[in-house]
Amino acid sequence: MKIAMPVDDKFMDTSICISFGRTPYFLIYDTDTKEGVFLDNSAVASQGGAGIKAAQTISDNKADALLTPRCGENAADVLKAADIKIYKTQGTSAIDNINAFVDGKLSVLEEIHAGFHKHGEK
């Protein structure tokens, strides 16, 4: 299966990015072939709705699961429609999280935040 995660750099030793929608890159990892592909996140400079666009990218790349430290409600809405399960990352290493996911040690992300899209808009 294919799993996606927001990452800070384009190499396998990278760390998980704290933001899903505004992450610079995504790592799409295939647990069967054990190969990873890095994608630029085109949503990073969005005026708004970055989470929606990022979730669209994850869906278009046929990921089955997303590993992320957190996720906003609009992104979660898109991911749900795309049948992509969201798991909460542990620690910062991408590889450790891939291994933890394969070993069934990551739990489903329960806490969906309300997003930052309404702040300061006066």
Partner 1 sequence: MRIAVLSGKGGTGKTLIAVNLASAAKTSAYIDCDVEEPNGHLFFKPEGIEEAEIAIKIPSVSEELCSGCRICVDFCKFNALAYIKGKLKIFDEVCHSCGGCVLFCPEKALSEKDKVIGKVQRGVSDNVAVSTGILNTGEASGVPIIKKLLNNSMIEEETLTLIDCPPGSACIVMESIKEADYCILVAEPTLFGVHNLQMVHELVKLFDKPHGVVLNKCLEGENPAEIFCLEKDIKILGRIAFDNELGTINSNARIAVRENEKYKTMFSSLLQKVTREVHHETVANS
DSSP designation for 31: T
* 67-96 binders of partner 1 (CB under 8 A): 74, 77-78, 81-83
Q: Is 31 in the site for partner 1 (CB under 8 A)?
A: no
Question: Where in 101-120 is the site for partner 1 (CB under 8 A)?
Answer: 117-118
Among 56, 90, 92, 93, binds partner 1 (CB under 8 A): 56
Among 17, 27, 50, 98, binds partner 1 (CB under 8 A): 50
Candidate ranges 4-12, 31-39, 42-50, 93-101; the one touching partner 1 (CB under 8 A):
42-50
Distance between CA atoms of residues 101 and 89, nearest Å: 9
By residue count, the chain amounts to 122
29-38 long-range contacts (CB < 8 A, ≥24 apart) are: 29/2, 29/3, 29/4, 29/5, 29/98, 30/1, 30/2, 31/1, 31/2, 31/3, 31/98, 31/101, 31/102, 32/1, 36/12, 37/61, 38/7, 38/10
Q: For residue 22, how many other CB atoms are within 10 A of its CB? A: 17
Q: Which stretch binds partner 1 (CB under 8 A): 8-16, 25-33, 40-48, 88-96?
A: 40-48
Residue 53 near partner 1 by CB under 8 A: yes
Residues that bind partner 1 (CB under 8 A): 43, 46-50, 52-53, 55-56, 59, 74, 77-78, 81-83, 117-118, 121-122
